[in-house]
Structure 1
Amino acid sequence: MTHSGTALPVTLDRESSVPLAVQLADALRQAASTGHLRGGDRLPSTRALAERLGVSRTVTAAAYEQLHAEGWIAGRHGSGTYVTTSPPVDRPVHRTIPGEEAEPESVLDLTPGTPWAAGVDKAAWRRAWRAAADAAPLVRAHRAGLPEYRAAIAEHLLRHRGLAVGTDSVLATGGTTAAVVELAGSVLSAGDVVAVEEPGYQRAVQALTAGGMRVVGVPVDEEGLRPDAIPAGARVVYCSPAHQYPMGSRMSAARRVELIERARAENMVVVEDDYDGELRFDVAPLPLLAALAPDVVVHLGTTSKILTPTLGAGWMVAPPAVSSALLAYRERTGTRASPAGQRVLIELARHGDLGRHLRKLRRELSERRALLVAALRAGDVPVIGDEAGAHLVVPFDSAAGERECLAAAATRSILLDGLARHFAGEPSAFGVAIGYAGCSREALRESLDALVGLLREYCAGHPVASAR
């Protein structure tokens, strides 16, 4: 049986960005899967089909070559081109990856963790990418990170976090969670006990659990993690002392000393997640644990909260034994932090754009926080958390109140984050964490009446607290 081009259900869209040859190959496959073409059917010649469809022979030849390579058609010498078999009728359809769907633009996202990416200077951003592209392609991997990047981070840590380190002490990472994954693979062993904040950063918890570690929650309060509650025999303590996530407190000086002394006495490693330590509004950024005890502290930082996740760039400063183990792990596994984001950060730092952005960011987020806190206080809604970072917490009395509030907010197209999901074990605190960096300031201001009214309804019973 022979098919002509006009008998086949082939429609080519010349305005589409999909090449005509790809469209034609797809159409012929579809014709076979729906029964218009069957095994043994003869196809028109590439010339004849091109004439009937009004395209060049290059298009039809390319489509036939693709289908021939896939095994759907075959040429017979002196006879023509034939369909060899039909594709399965119920072919799998590629669908959107679960969890990756974008929120509709009408939804106001007030969940924490989103940076003020809209505040990045567009001219500086374009300039940095252009300059990064001028660098010659790498011929070998830099397992520790690009030297210029490590130098830029060392300067950043000195200026904005008060940590004096040499370039050789800095390792590039893909961010804090990526760094935790690498630490689990290089420093820890299956079954090692890791103490984590409860509530705390669940991505780190999941990374450690996936690595075979035994994760044990340690309670936090208004002074941060409680060192006295760390279980005996813990190999590592993971914490966010500058701005505890998600509760927003900072670790007191006394507890910092207590944690360091215990780490030294019991041969523990303290992993300090400084995810937004540059963002304090009341006082200068607090000293790092790594500055107090570089012998037992692994310091982690990231560009995701102060700039954008686009860069996929972070850093680590660790004791020599930890750094060596991590570099050996990268050599064994062939892994490294991507240099593309590092190059952009290098250029942003080289021209002073990084420092200017941080100053603008602190000013913007400080004003947003003040706006939000003032509205909540005026509505008799309690607030907890330091004057820092990009989120605050409204405590509730019960899990039911938290669930009902989140559901009610969703019906008003407001996306909030509950505290219960930040517990690895049984939740013992409830409420909502409100992020104020990802949306525009106008959207935040316009939502205040609805937000305050909603929170006031579900957090009844709490006395008004003062946000530090």
Structure 2
Amino acid sequence: MAESPALPLTVDRESATPLAVQLAEELRTAAADGRLRSGDRLPSTRTLAAQLKVSRTVTAAAYEQLHAEGWIAGRHGSGTYITTAPPGSLRARPRRARTESAAADAIDLRPGSPWVGGIDRSAWRRAWRAAADVAPLRRPQRAGLPAYRAAVAEHLLRHRGLRVSAEFDGGDGESVLATGGTTAALAELAAAVLRRGDTVAVEEPGYQRAVETMRAAGLRVVPAPVDADGLLLDALPLGTRAVYCSPAHQYPLGRRMAAGRRVALVERARREGWLVIEDDYDGELRYDVAPLPLLAALAPDVVVHLGTTSKILTPTLGAGWMVAPPGVVAAVLEHRESTGTGPAAAGQLVVVELARNGDLGRHLRRLRRELSERRTLLVGALLDGGVPVVGDDAGAHLVVPLDSAAAERDLIDAASRSGLLLDGLARHHSGQASWFGIALGYAACSREQLHEAIPVLVRLLTRSTGSVVSPSG
């Protein structure tokens, strides 16, 4: 290893991870844990390259990635400086109250938030009251409440076309387990089923909380590039133990995995002993055709299906589910028993009551109708303004592609000054960023806010005409 005398940074030339990716990660960590502070000046790419005894292309690539993510900023004629950790960063330090106040006044067009304004408040209160009438548990239900698992099984059959047993009796069939949500379920799989050092491939760009959850468990995470048809299987290395993907509505690009890729993925998983972790992100929300079939229906023997109420209802409930082969279910339950962990029952009880009264089904119908109309409104305005969009007619976000990290960063900054919160694609990479653009969410804001934001958004994007690129594939 070569160690910088000026900064607490190291790079390992023996590692399979590219040097630029290592350096960017070192700087992120140093900025997040306080060794580097907001306002600290960084050495030039040439100086840092000399200190670390690496090529200047390595330091330049690392700086470009950190620029795209918002960790560093350049000042003309002065140099490059550490900025405050970017909003949404997993390692971000608490932001100042002034920044939080400004964000509260802005219109949130970032993906990942549900349409909580559409929840029927009377139904919501009724469900909580009914949940409170249930007698307190004497012992934890490690698999989840039986009534909740039955409600999930009914939901999956009606809305995702997956027939699965709500019971777990140690038999040969798949079973539903309650979880605390997708990230919590990933942490359980990492601890109970996978082993430290196992290689897990994750879509690139993809869900970085999944990446960090698995890294925290000691797994080796490798980026799995995607194109217009989904995961590029030829890029997956031999020795892969598990593959994490979101085939119904890829996050953040908003596209579905092609049928041929799905078949090839499960065939290779069976052949090489992979576990396919299917995150059904936005899977219930499709507006052109019926929701796409699940990988779990195609290959229940090798697929672990993960779902959550966080996107269709609210994160308040902390309720999700896992459908998995018997061996995986048994390992997760054994882990829960040995560690005394498991999903909280309160959110499960509320979901049970919402489902029992038909309120869950009514909400899903309203949700699809509302978000379909919002998407039509947003896409129409963008196309009328000459701005291309990427993504299926589904989910709660779409993508406007841009040609560079600088264009993405400049547009996000300009939008912030105009009172709009946007999210870029660059931060959704665990390695060198290869996709740039804006992921536009249309669920977090109100309908009135969306109408207010659209003219501003179109004006900003049309000003960036040279940077907006036509979607490929």
1:201 corresponding residue in structure 2? 207
Q: Give the drift of 1:279.
A: 0.2
Write the distance in 1 (CA, Å) between the matches of 2:464 and 2:346.
46
Q: Read off the aligned partner of 2:263 and give its amino acid letter.
A: V
Q: Which runs of 5+ in 1 are unaligned?
A: 1-96
Q: Read off the aligned partner of 2:158 and give its amino acid letter.
A: R
Instruction: Within 5 Å, give how 1:14-413 maps onto structure 2.
Output: 98=94, 102=100, 104=102, 105-168=104-167, 169-413=175-419
Q: Read off the aligned partner of 1:98 and give its amino acid letter.
A: P
Cα distance per residue 1:156-190 (max 9 Å; x no partner): 00000000001021000000011001111101111
- TM-score normalised by the chain length of structure 1: 0.78
Q: Give the drift of 1:100.
A: 9.7
Q: Give the drift of 1:462.
A: 4.2
Percent of matched pairs sharing the same residue: 67
Write the distance in 2 (CA, Å) between the matches of 1:190 and 1:388.
36
Is contact 2:250–2:281 with CA below 8 Å preserved after alignment? no
Is contact 2:185–2:306 with CA below 8 Å preserved after alignment? yes
Q: Read off the aligned partner of 1:135 and give its amino acid letter.
A: V
Write the distance in 2 (CA, Å) between the matches of 1:340 and 1:463.
47
Change (3 A) 1:100 1:390: farther
Aligned residue pairs total: 372
Is contact 1:298–1:318 with CA below 8 Å preserved after alignment? yes
Write the distance in 2 (CA, Å) between the matches of 1:100 and 1:234.
42
Write the distance in 2 (CA, Å) between the matches of 1:328 and 1:291.
25
Q: Give the drift of 1:458.
A: 2.4
Write the distance in 2 (CA, Å) between the matches of 1:311 and 1:396.
36
Compare relative contact order (CA 8 Å, sep 6+) and give the higher one, 1 or 2. 2
Q: Give the drift of 1:466.
A: 9.8
Write the distance in 2 (CA, Å) between the matches of 1:170 and 1:243.
22
Write the distance in 2 (CA, Å) between the matches of 1:459 and 1:228.
34
Change (3 A) 1:148 1:210: same
2:454 corresponding residue in structure 1? 448
Q: Read off the aligned partner of 1:128 and give its amino acid letter.
A: A
Is contact 1:382–1:466 with CA below 8 Å preserved after alignment? no
Q: Read off the aligned partner of 2:457 and give its amino acid letter.
A: L
Q: Read off the aligned partner of 1:276 and give its amino acid letter.
A: D
Is contact 1:176–1:275 with CA below 8 Å preserved after alignment? no
Change (3 A) 1:378 1:466: farther
Write the distance in 1 (CA, Å) between the matches of 2:209 and 2:186.
9
Is contact 1:173–1:314 with CA below 8 Å preserved after alignment? yes
Cα distance per residue 1:24-66 (max 9 Å; x no partner): xxxxxxxxxxxxxxxxxxxxxxxxxxxxxxxxxxxxxxxxxxx
Is contact 1:225–1:251 with CA below 8 Å preserved after alignment? yes
Q: Give the drift of 1:103.
A: 5.1
Change (3 A) 1:99 1:358: farther
Cα distance per residue 1:376-409 (max 9 Å; x no partner): 0011111000011100000000110011111111
Q: Read off the aligned partner of 1:129 and give its amino acid letter.
A: W
- TM-score normalised by the chain length of structure 2: 0.77
Is contact 2:401–2:470 with CA below 8 Å preserved after alignment? no
Cα distance per residue 1:200-223 (max 9 Å; x no partner): 000000000000000000111111
Q: Give the drift of 1:275.
A: 2.2
**SS of equivalent residue, structure 1 residue 247:** coil
**SS of equivalent residue, structure 2 residue 440:** strand
Is contact 1:419–1:432 with CA below 8 Å preserved after alignment? yes
Q: Which runs of 5+ in 2 are unaligned?
A: 1-92, 168-174
Q: Give the drift of 1:224.
A: 1.0
**SS of equivalent residue, structure 2 residue 382:** helix
